[in-house]
Amino acid sequence: MDKPAVVVLFGGRSSEHSISSATAGGVLHAINRDRYRVIPVGITRQGAFVLEDDDSAKFALDPENMPEVVDNGTRIVWPEAAGERMLSVRRADGTVESLGLVDAVLPILHGPHGEDGTIQGFFDTVELPYAGGGVLDSALCMDKHFMKVALQAAGVPVAPWITLRSGEWDAARDVEAIVARAAGLALPWFVKPARAGSSVGVSKVHSVDELAAALDIAFAEDDKVLLEEGLVGREIEVGVLEGRGGAASRASLPGEIVLTTREFYDFEGKYLGGDGVDVVCPAALEDSELEAIRSMGLRAFEAVDGRGLARVDFFLTAAGPVVNELNTMPGFTPISMFPKCWIATGMTYAELISELIDTALERAAA
């Protein structure tokens, strides 16, 4: 009981529930049990917080049978405010059992209700330390429109875009009016929900004839949608970690998404073993390109008041790197780009997990 107690929180109500659950499988398998006492807490698709089995195999990434959190009848009773960090579980028969004091939460949640600042605000309210992004950077980066606004204000280049609302599309379904608004954006276009991740709801539009279907797919995920100009360039990603003890934040070696036969890096390519894409880390870059990407990744992290971690995604164009987006809780399975980048930089997967937890503990102590 002298080890810090860490709640590994996963699942959630978003369309990325299974990806979060698969991430939990990797984290529960690799987390340093000699250093931390682990309390696995899952969130069902309906939003119930349940005490989970500490069994990493249960949440293994299996494209044929994606993992999920099932309601087992338990309910987590979170600490009340005023500095009390006692966690409890109410069993299905109504009995309440203490799980002991909690030192930090590792929320490996993706999408709305997890990566958008809402759960972070809850933990701030009950004074419970947590790893990863805070309220502001989580909310900004979850909303691709406002993320771009913040980056532009800081002088960080982003892909040109327009933002659409469901009301204007549902009312008239006027493709010509939208095309007129997008007149300055060269085809192909990417149509994507403003507040979704893992490429859920994203379409690549090669001609105006494909736009209506792409908008229907995106608006099924969110009532705000971005239409972006498709940039020509290599897809490069870099990991960023918050500095500790007053030190500056640092960037990993970059990785590259190499598309062979796939149109873009979609959900199937990322998680379901789809052909047509290779994840290469470290990327083969000139020294000048490497420095530009790492430097811009850190600038982007600072522009959104980044905390904890982020993955910064770029298009490396002929004119230089352009930021596509930031992810404040990027894919964190053992095969995901963020861990791969840090492993290539000299950190193990287990050490990366410890880094996030220890940063949260130090921030709380300060």
**Mind listing the pLDDT tens digit for each residue in 154-189?**
999 999 999 999 998 988 899 999 999 999 999 999
User: How far is residue 56's CA from residue 353's CA, in Å, rounded to a whole number?
Assistant: 15
Assess contact for 293 and 233: CB atoms under 8 A: no
Average pLDDT, integer, range 138-159:
97
229-243, 265-279, 336-350: least confidently modelled range: 265-279
Pairing between strand 234-241 and 250-251?
antiparallel
At residue 63 the predicted structure's pLDDT band, cuts being 50, 70 and 90, is confident
Dihedral pair phi/psi, residue 9, rounded to 5°: -110, 130
Q: What percent of the chain has pLDDT over 70?
A: 95
Amino acid at 293: I
> Greater confidence, 241 or 364?
241
- Average per-residue pLDDT for the chain: 92
The CATH T-level fold of domain 161-229 is Dna Ligase; domain 1 (3.30.1490)
> Which residue, 97, 130, 104, is CA-closest to 37?
104
At residue 80 the predicted structure's pLDDT band, cuts being 50, 70 and 90, is confident
**Mind listing the pLDDT tens digit for each residue in 282-317?**
999 999 999 999 999 999 999 999 999 999 999 999
Residue 198, pLDDT score: 59
Residue 272, pLDDT score: 45
The CATH T-level fold of domain 5-130 is Rossmann fold (3.40.50)
Domain boundaries, the chain: 5-130, 140-155+232-350+361-365, 161-229
What CATH number matches the domain at 140-155+232-350+361-365, 3.40.718.10, 3.30.470.20, 3.40.50.300, 2.40.420.20? 3.30.470.20
H helix or E strand, kind and range, residue 225: strand 224-229
In which residue are the tokens 């003890």 written?
Answer: 245
Q: What percent of the chain has pLDDT over 90?
A: 81
User: How far is residue 250's CA from residue 245's CA, in Å, rounded to a whole number?
Assistant: 13
User: How far is residue 304's CA from residue 293's CA, in Å, rounded to a whole number?
Assistant: 17
Pairing between strand 37-43 and 5-11?
parallel
**Mind listing the pLDDT tens digit for each residue in 199-213?**
778 999 999 999 999
Pairing between strand 224-229 and 234-241?
unpaired
Strand partners, 42: 10, 50
In sequence order, which residues have a C-beta less than 8 Å from that of residue 246 and are 6 or more positions away? none
Residue 75, pLDDT score: 98
